[in-house]
Amino acid sequence: MINLNEYGWNLEYKQDIKQGLIPARVVEVHRELYKVVCEHGEVNARLKGTFYKEIKFDDDIPVVGDFVYLQYNQYGDSLIAKLCKRKSKFSRTDFSGHAAAYVKTIHEQVIAANFDYVFVVVSLNHDFNINRIERYIGAAIVSGAEPVVILTKADLNSEYEKYVNELKLQYEDIDIIAISSKTGFGLEALEKYLNKGKTLVFLGSSGVGKSSLVNAISGEEIMKVNSIRDDDSKGRHTTTHRQLIMLASKTMVIDTPGMRELGMWDAGDGIKKTFDDIEELMEKCKFSDCSHKSEPGCAIKNALETGKLDEDRWKRYLQLMNENNFVKQKSAYTKREKLINKIKGR
């Protein structure tokens, strides 16, 4: 009998328990076929008919990492009857034609859900790019999880401390950790994130050392490491094809093709896209310098009240603006430029 708490299930969700339904976590999705883990172990599942009917938006569909309620069937496919509220998610708003036929309105395509930490992985050699780091951190904060910046291949860069310190100045509240999967350097600093029941995702370009890092923290060869490898997921995992992987330490890693695509976004407007709707709303406020707090005719306030704008999303947007200088202001821009120059040694 599996204890779902080990998969990150927590008491918060218990109040949702309905008669005859048991909690489960999605570990794999192949089109309409799901693999979920529940107290009876890993089982195959499909969406229940009544669940289909209630789907309005793309984000109503369960994805890897989601907690769901299951009508368990010991003889065949179990049925997913309910999706639990997500505490974090990555989604794509600008996707191209993957919408399932039963989705009535295209809204956002969720890629992964309910992860605790986003490991922002950047290599200390050629890949190092402040804009990219900032964009990844932004995406992580938007997701609702905690970002941790990991600078890989420290063994290849004798000046790694300089990078760490500069980033620490810029991002006071975010952990910045230099490591080497090759020598094991710095890995102990990651231990506090590798707790039982916690779920990790990795954001980072191809080749920065994500697979090597997963192997290093798990102590097993879970991922195939290859410098000349296709970017699609085929044959990537050596010991498993799971999309939600349970490490020996009981920490989980979500690794799906969609996650990897996210890591390859072009530096630049990923964040803006994520918040296009909010910025559009802001343009509709009566006053152009609206602070969206108490002004009359505030489109944001109105959208929050009518539920058109999700309160959590709005909070994340504000958080992002505050913590990471995403503000379109000169001061923030100059600060970033300065940092880039400092790091480049100018």
Which residues of the shown chain bind ligand GDP in the complex (CB under 6 A)? 152-153, 155-156, 180-182, 204, 206-212, 225-227
Q: CB-wise, 329 or 341, nearer to Zn ion?
A: 329
Token pair, residue 92, equals: 């794509």
156 binds, among ligand GDP, Zn ion, none (CB under 5 to 8 A by kind): ligand GDP
From the list ligand GDP, Zn ion, none, partner contacted by residue 211 (C-beta under 5 to 8 A by kind): ligand GDP
27 vs 290, beta carbon nearer Zn ion? 290
By the rule CB under 5 A, 79 interacts with Zn ion: no
Is residue 285 a contact point for Zn ion (CB under 5 A)?
yes
169 binds, among Zn ion, ligand GDP, none (CB under 5 to 8 A by kind): none
Q: Name the minimum Å distance from CB 344 to ligand GDP.
A: 22
Residue 200 in 3-state DSSP? strand
Query: Which of 14, 8, 1 lies closest to 69 in space, CA to CA?
Result: 14
Among residues 178, 216, 253, 298, which is the contact residue for Zn ion, using CB under 5 A? 298
Tell me how many degrees the CA angle 215-261-33 measures, rounded to the nearest 5. 85
What are the start-end ranges of the H helices in the chain? 49-54, 130-143, 160-170, 210-218, 257-263, 270-274, 276-283, 299-306, 311-324, 330-344
Q: Output 207 or 257, the one with its CB closest to ligand GDP.
A: 207
- Other Cβ atoms less than 10 A from the Cβ of 298: the count is 21
Report DSSP letters for 235-256, one per residue: T-BSS---SEEE-TTS-EEE--
Cβ at position 222, least distance to ligand GDP in Å:
11
Task: Say whether residue 281 binds Zn ion (CB under 5 A).
Answer: no
Q: Give the C-alpha separation, 254 to 229, whole Å.
A: 20
> Does residue 309 bind Zn ion (CB under 5 A)?
no
Q: Does 110 bind Zn ion (CB under 5 A)?
A: no
Q: Can you tell me which of 292, 303, 316, 320 binds Zn ion, judged by CB under 5 A?
A: 292
Q: How many residues bind Zn ion (CB under 5 A)?
A: 5
Return the closest-CA partner of residue 121 out of 212, 225, 185.
Answer: 212
For Zn ion, the binding residues (CB under 5 A) are 285, 290, 292, 298, 300
